[in-house]
Structure 1
């Protein structure tokens, strides 16, 4: 226990840049699409900014939903934290053999 966290890899460091680039590409695409339809730069820039921000929020939300990958042994049953990993949990247990006596 040295107290130092492992240094992130180059791929982990570049992940935020990848998200910004994907959101920027989507914003440019929407801006170009709106400009070709309306021929107004102001509206195209506004729509590009809205698309950039919306795609950035959606991508960040999806990353939070996916979360980090947890190994099979580290999984915790929300119904019964004392249940062994990979089991069905306390919902499918026989109440007569419950070790907690509930």
Structure 2
């Protein structure tokens, strides 16, 4: 089993931090418009969850799984794929 680098271990925290920053910005914008803290907190929470899900899906879509030798595990070039 290979040891993950420090950057790989901190990536989830980077994604959560990015989502938290976006949620805070959305919360401030809503609070500035509505002047209601409950509404601002609700919108901040919703935006946090939405950004976490979207960023996670984008990371999964761009992730390329390798076996350590640089070869892709999803390589279906041998023609054995049922599709």
TM superposition score category, shorter chain reference: 0.7 to 0.9
Q: What corresponds to 1:39 in structure 2? A: 35
Offset at residue 77 of structure 1 (A)? 2.8
Q: If you compute each CA radius of gyration, which structure gives the higher value, 1 or 2? A: 1
Structure 1: give runs of 5+ residues left out of the alignment.
Answer: 83-102
* Secondary structure, aligned partner of 2:3: coil
Offset at residue 69 of structure 1 (A)? 5.5
Q: Which of 17, 26, 30 matches 1:21?
A: 17
Separation in 1, partners of 2:60, 2:12: 13
User: What TM-score, normalized to structure 1?
Assistant: 0.67
> 1:13-92 alignment to 2 at 5 Å?
13-68=9-64, 70=66, 71=70, 75-77=75-77, 80-81=79-80
Q: Which has the higher contact order (CA 8 A, sep 6+)?
A: 2
Q: How many residues align?
A: 77
